[in-house]
Structure 1
Amino acid sequence: MIDRISYDDEGGTLWVSFRQTGKYLYEDVPAAIFEAFCQASSAGTFFNGRVRHHFRCRRDPERRPFGPDA
């Protein structure tokens, strides 16, 4: 489900890249959450329990649309 994560210390932004749906930005995420995410035994379980629906989220503005209507 999750392909890659990265974090911007200055802005507190967590980037989560999903295999199927692309990259999403989660705002105002504490560094401790990112560090725990990196150490989690299951990225998907951690994401669903500690990130999803806990922080403001938006799609990556640089994400290119694809598909038949793009």
Structure 2
Amino acid sequence: MPYVRSSAISRIEWTNGTLSIWFNETGRYDYHGVPERLFHEFLAAGSKGSFYNSYIRDRY
């Protein structure tokens, strides 16, 4: 369960194609069909919120 430094996101987890994101304000959301590669890129991103908005939101 990687905890991350972000003003919007507290934790990111990937299991068998499901990306779970814990948002500070609204809690956990699950995104299905997310490639593991994208999870690792998300973890490495300088801005988790910007990465989420560009590559995950409204796509999964």
Which structure 2 residue ranges, 5 or more long, are not aligned? 1-7
Corresponding position: 1:25 with 2:38: no
> Bigger radius of gyration, 1 or 2?
1
Corresponding position: 1:43 with 2:48: yes
- State the 4+ residue runs in structure 1 displaced beyond 6 angstroms: none
Alpha-carbon RMSD across the aligned residues, in angstroms, is: 0.5
Percent identity among equivalent residues? 40
Instruction: Report the TM-score, using the length of structure 1 for normalisation.
Output: 0.74
Aligned length: 53
Cα distance in 1 for partners of 2:25, 2:38 equals: 23
Which structure 1 residue ranges, 5 or more long, are not aligned? 56-70
